[in-house]
Amino acid sequence: MPADAAPSRPKTVLLWFRKDLRLADNAALATAVDEGAEVIPVYILEPEDAGTGPLGAAQAWWLHHSLEALASSLMHHGSGLVLRRGPASEVLKALISGTGADAVFWNRRYDPPGIAIDKAIKADLTERGLVVRSFAGQILHEPTKLKTGAGGNFRVYTPFWKALEASGEPAEPIPAPARIPSPASPPKSDALEDWALLPTKLNWAKSFEGPWQPGETGAQKRLAAFVQSGLKGYRTRRDFPGEAHVSMLSPHLALGEISPASVWHATRGLSEDYSSEDYIHFRKELVWRDFSYHLLFHFPDLSTRNWSAKFDAFPWRDAPDLLEKWQKGQTGYPIVDAGMRQLWQTGWMHNRVRMIVASFLIKDLLIDWREGERWFRDTLVDADPASNAASWQWVAGSGADAAPFFRIFNPTSQGEKFDPEGVYVRRFVPELKDMPDKFIHKPSEAPLTVLREAGVSLGKTYPLPIVDHGKARDAAMAAFQGLKGE
């Protein structure tokens, strides 16, 4: 064989796990195993200044447990997980020289800093004679593959959805390999504990343990449970935060413990008692995640810059005291406070309530949406650079295909509409649990006798509204009108 013939079948593959912490539907892993290579799975904790952005505290908690789950699962497949920290290019080079690996495989990521890192590594390692291969699977359709009829990039969701639908079903998920061949002496791993991913305020994330099971098994269980029960009635009931009609798959998707294609296909071939209305609407939500990545890919500053430059002149208020009350769930608007406390206690918030609390921060408090984006990034277990940024801009009105700015949620009527009996509010704002339904979303309008009977003392056991929504709405409209004249 000529010396310069690149080996098409590598002997030893470094399998670089990133936000794809799963064995099923993992194209990079499946290919390495199929080609008969010995596989060295590695996870690299990249420094924040590498450009991949700071890891939020809630997601760091999740990552810790997810890596434990992945390591354990790999062990059951005859393999193991090598943990290393540092700039990915250096870590990979050290591992290559230490193991004699002749290839590096990974599944592609789509955040712009990650893309830049991967591109440089691919060029460098290829130059050094390694086989470097990357695979798809983190989103349903790669951003470069969907174009408008005119050849441009989508800026409106509905045409994006139609194009995606028209491009056919996503590929069938690939089963997890039965066994993963491992080299005789795999490299040493860091101790996960040394990474200090768990929060030091221990009693904070403690409450995450009830609702969540990080890792691939937890993801699959969550999906099965959702398809079994939550999906029925999804279209109409998904907006009711007191009910269990949303999938809660977002944190699993954020770290790739399950692939979006697996989720898509789980809603196929259902029996007749499933309404197509329900699973089509569910898929549409899944595709918003793709749309967000599409936007981020073509607008890398999505989390820091207004998509619509018109908003650059918006007179945001500097109000750290109000911001803190919002963060702590002490606004005096029960649905807002319930949402913010659900976020703090569980690392997650129901989507309808995310829209309400975001509208409140932006339009009632007139605080820059970037403050909200930052808080969510730090406290959400599902923090995702694309979805989070795109969704905040959507609510702010500055984003692509965004809600018009003048669509200002009334937190009281939203509460009454989507949590009519206050089930959700009572769960997260227990000091209001004995309020009658009629006043559960507007305790400040309740007669004194009603408050006394419910054990509520406004301003003491529960805050008075920190702003008057009617006035706040007028102020927001005025600020927006001012923008138009710019």
Partner DNA sequence: TGGCTGTTTCC
Partner DNA sequence: GAAACAGCC
Catalytic residue among 35, 68, 142, 285: 285
Whether 326 is catalytic is no
Among 408, 446, 451, 467, binds DNA (CB under 7 A): 408
Whether 204 is catalytic is no
Catalytic residue among 16, 392, 416, 431: 392
Task: Say how far apart CA 465 and CA 320 lie, in whole Å.
Answer: 17
Q: How far is CA 276 from CA 171, 233, 282, 390, in A?
A: 20, 10, 10, 27
Closest CB to DNA among residues 79, 414: 414
Catalytic residue among 288, 307, 326, 348: 288
Task: Say how far apart CA 254 and CA 60 lie, in whole Å.
Answer: 12
Total count of residues recorded for the chain: 486
Whether 369 is catalytic is yes
Closest CB to DNA among residues 17, 424: 424
Residues 340-369: x where in contact with DNA by CB under 7 A, - otherwise, as a string: ---------------x--------------
Residue 297 touching DNA (CB under 7 A): no
Task: Say how far apart CA 340 and CA 346 lie, in whole Å.
Answer: 10
Q: Which residues from 276-295 bind DNA, rule CB under 7 A? A: 284-285, 288
Q: Total number of residues binding DNA (CB under 7 A)?
A: 20
Query: With contact defined as beta carbons under 8 Å apart, do 59 and 254 qualify?
Result: yes
Task: Say how far apart CA 427 and CA 425 lie, in whole Å.
Answer: 5
Full DSSP string of 80-143: --EEEES-HHHHHHHHHHHH---EEEEE---SHHHHHHHHHHHHHHHHTT-EEEEE--SSSS-G
Among 417, 434, 475, 479, binds DNA (CB under 7 A): 417
Element (H, E) at 14: strand 12-17
Which residue is it, tokens 């990079």? 28
Among 153, 308, 410, 444, binds DNA (CB under 7 A): 410
Among 414, 426, 435, 456, binds DNA (CB under 7 A): 414
> How buried is 308 (Cβ within 10 angstroms: 0-12 exposed, 13-18 middle, 19+ buried)?
middle
Cβ 471 to DNA shortest distance, Å: 11
Q: How far is CA 257 from CA 367, 376, 386, in A?
A: 34, 21, 17
C-beta neighbour count of 477 within 10 angstroms: 14
Whether 392 is catalytic is yes
Cβ 253 to DNA shortest distance, Å: 16
Closest CB to DNA among residues 226, 288: 288
Residue 155 touching DNA (CB under 7 A): no
Closest CB to DNA among residues 297, 409: 409
Span of 73-81, 138-146, 148-156, 409-417 interacting with DNA by CB under 7 A:
409-417
Span of 77-85, 135-143, 363-371, 401-409 interacting with DNA by CB under 7 A:
401-409
Task: Say how far apart CA 380 and CA 360 lie, in whole Å.
Answer: 18
Whether 316 is catalytic is yes
Catalytic residue among 106, 161, 264, 369: 369
Cβ 288 to DNA shortest distance, Å: 5
Whether 288 is catalytic is yes
The three-class DSSP label of residue 175 is coil
Cβ 451 to DNA shortest distance, Å: 23
Cβ 439 to DNA shortest distance, Å: 17
Cβ 408 to DNA shortest distance, Å: 6
Task: Say how far apart CA 133 and CA 131 lie, in whole Å.
Answer: 7
Cβ 284 to DNA shortest distance, Å: 7
Q: What share of the chain is helix, strand, coil (3-state, %, to 5)?
A: 50, 5, 45
Cβ 20 to DNA shortest distance, Å: 25
Q: Which residues from 419-478 bind DNA, rule CB under 7 A? A: 469-470, 473, 477
Residue 485 touching DNA (CB under 7 A): no
Which residue is it, tokens 């406004």? 458
Residue 55 touching DNA (CB under 7 A): no
Distance of CA 16 to the CA centre of its chain: 21
**Considering only CA atoms, which of 96, 71, 94, 67 is closest in space to residue 81?**
71
Closest CB to DNA among residues 218, 399: 399
C-beta neighbour count of 219 within 10 angstroms: 27
**Considering only CA atoms, which of 481, 328, 152, 36 is closest in space to residue 339?**
328
Span of 108-116, 176-184, 300-308, 403-411 interacting with DNA by CB under 7 A:
403-411
Q: Which residues bind DNA (CB under 7 A)?
A: 157, 284-285, 288, 355, 403-404, 406-410, 413-414, 417, 469-470, 473, 477, 481
The residues that are catalytic are 285, 288, 316, 351, 369, 392
